[in-house]
Structure 1
Amino acid sequence: MIKNRPGNRGEAGWSLIETVFTLFLFGLLFSLCMPAISVIAERVERMLLMQELASRLQLAQTEAMSKETEVTVRLVSAQNEVHIVQNETVLRKIRIPPLYRLTSNYPRQSFVYRETGQVQGGTLSLYSGKRLVGRLVIQVASGLPKVEMVSCAL
């Protein structure tokens, strides 16, 4: 047991001013980091969306080859969705978050995977408002989608 000595009085903890100052510094650092964290989170969200779309397109291609039938991919801009269709039956719907808009350079905003897995080459473009933030390039003949993220200043 340590006895109180005259020099140790009042040094057992933090004062109110030290606590308030420490909390103020943590709040200031947090407020300075938040914009950077939100930008990183938005980029990750876009990348995940583009990669999910690419994997769903590869699945549509595989389905066309395995069932030896055509599979159509349609961009339904009114619903902000991508529909994967086989024999006029919607197999899958991919919802695009409301913050984004997906367009393509395909006629009638649709393209077809043939029984062999081949497709006409083209590009799907992802926009956030009016700003292009990503592209999904569908390669000629092989039909494999390639994700290209567009880096731009906010």
Structure 2
Amino acid sequence: MTDQEPGPLAPYPTVLTTGEVAEILRMGSQLIAAMAKRGELPTAFKLGSGPRAQWRFLKRAIAALVEGNSPDRTTEQLAQYPAVLTTAEAAAVLRLTPGRTAALATQGELPAFKVGTGERAQWRFPRQRLVQLINTPSTPEPDTTPPAG
């Protein structure tokens, strides 16, 4: 789902990937990820852990940064979804594949619960918990780079 507001970021979806933020800010993706890791970008949130972790950003916050305003951390766009999202819906919001979304739920990295048992069990994602995840910036990670010299 995309925001319907005018402006230079209008074509972008509500939740942005590292590559999209890099394109918007005209910086490298690795630099954007490093800035997110240090807590230097508004509303950056991390999905997963380890080397496969991915950063996501709210378009409104990046737009506010570009326009020189303070970031608006609201998520009205998620109001159009039901109170409980399917794996496909959560994947669309978070800009992940459904398989990766289910894997993160299984690992406890995403707020979710299973409905049913066995192979037919399905993941469900409470909308309000996803809003909380998106609106809570990830804690900056300590720099583990050894000092030069």
Same fold (TM over 0.5): no
TM-score, normalization by structure 2: 0.29
Structure (1/2) with the larger strand percentage: 1
TM-score, normalization by structure 1: 0.28
Structure of larger gyration radius: 1
User: Structure with the greater relative contact order (CA < 8 A, sep ≥ 6): 1 or 2?
Assistant: 2
